[in-house]
A = this chain, B = another copy of it.
Amino acid sequence: MPKISTRLFSGAKHRVSKKVGMPPGSLIHIGEDHSRETEISLISYGARGVETRILDSVDALSHYQAGDAITWLNIVGLADIKAIEAIGQHFDIHRLVLEDILNTHQRPKCEHHDSFIYLVLTSLVIPEPGADRTVIQGLKSGIQYQQVSILLLDRFVITFEESASSALGHITQRLSNSSGRFRSQGSDYLAYEILDSIVDQYFEYEEYMAEQIDDIEEELLINPTSDTLIRIQRLKRELIKIRRVISPLRELLNGLLRSDSPLIHAGTAIYLRDVFDHCLRITEMLDSYRDMTTGLLDIYISSISNRMNEIMKVLTIFASIFIPLTFITGIYGMNFDAMPELHWPWAYPALWGLFIGISGGLLVYFKRKHWL
């Protein structure tokens, strides 16, 4: 078995240790991607149109705080702590929230604050169907996890991610193309759209998992190797991991649905309920995949036992046939003076007959036992 790096957590090392002993509210970026520059893009839209720009300084924000337009601030890259702190101060965000935004290992949750709602969840990047499977197999599961933080304010939505994800890209496009329906809604609808596009990715994930299960199943039925076991375990782990990502989402959405915050308009509830249903559905799907993976393991273990049976059968057939025959040859290889059979002329051919008879008889016996 080649040495494969199967470390699941290697990248995550020292992620918390950095902070041990520091006061709460210390702003340190605890994530994987430190090199990436922080980019703040702004989309402001309303009945009149859509304006898109890259923001250099937080000061420019004041311009957008007046008027009816909804403004979406998307921060990509979390290395520039100063910039994030500036945004935090501008919108009066609690330091513990900023700490959570920067520490990209949060449990999905929904926090109600006085002037804003803080949502944090995880978006996924699933490898392309065409991607080389063997490569993915070697290096973990090939699925990338990324924390997305959403601050929902009165007419602002601020999102934070470590690198640009396709989920948010879709929405930008839709906003530009949209003919009014989207643009006439409030900031809560924008937040819903973001949640919805992230949850949609989970369905892609679920399909990917279904494919993996199918693949492994086929492998199991044709030629199970010890690599198959590794794949099953990898799948199992992936499902353990995703549950940590998805199961708190129901709570998050419940937090929004049952909220009496003026930030959530009555009309948005039906949309949030829809995302909630999707979450339920995906959770149940993934739970059933877990059970299936256990089934795969059972098949693997039985297939090992079956193979052992087959090996033992071959050994037993060979040994059981030839050991008695060899015993007979041993008898007539003895050097006793008085062995009358040795001098009978037809003894040797008769013995051949006996050999064939014994082996034939044993073969019939094994045939009846379904060993052949």
Where the two chains meet, the residues of A that have a C-beta atom closer than 8 Å to any C-beta of B are 1, 3-4, 6-10, 12-17, 19-21, 23-24, 94, 96, 105-107, 109, 111, 166, 170, 173-174, 178, 182, 193, 196-197, 200-201, 203-204, 206-207, 210-211, 213-214, 217-218, 221-223, 226, 229-230, 233, 236-237, 240-241, 243-244, 248, 270-271, 273-274, 277, 280-281, 284-285, 288, 291-292, 295, 297-316, 318-320, 322-327, 329-339, 341-343, 345, 347-348, 351, 369-371
Q: How far is the CB of A133 from chain B (nearest CB, A)?
A: 16
| B342 A170 Cβ-Cβ under 8 A | no
Least Cβ–Cβ distance between A294 and chain B, in angstroms = 9
- Min CB–CB distance A102 → chain B (angstroms): 14
Q: Which residues of B contact A206 (CB under 8 A)?
A: 16
Q: A309-B304, A333-B334 are in contact. Are A244 and B284 (CB under 8 A)?
A: yes
Q: Assuming the A-B contacts A285-B244, A302-B304, A337-B343, are A6 and B323 also in contact, with contact meaning beta carbons closer than 8 angstroms in the complex?
A: no
Name the one of B12, B223, B243, B351 contacting A210, with C-beta atoms under 8 angstroms. B12
Contact at A319–B330, with CB atoms within 8 Å? no
In-complex Cβ contact of A96 among B182, B193, B203, B270 (8 A): B270
Tell me the nearest residue of chain B to A336, going by C-beta.
Answer: B348
Are A203 and B16 in contact, with the CB atoms below 8 A? yes
- With a CB–CB cut-off of 8 A, which chain B residues contact A7? 214, 217-218
Rounded to whole Å, the gap between the CB of A190 and the closest CB of chain B is 12
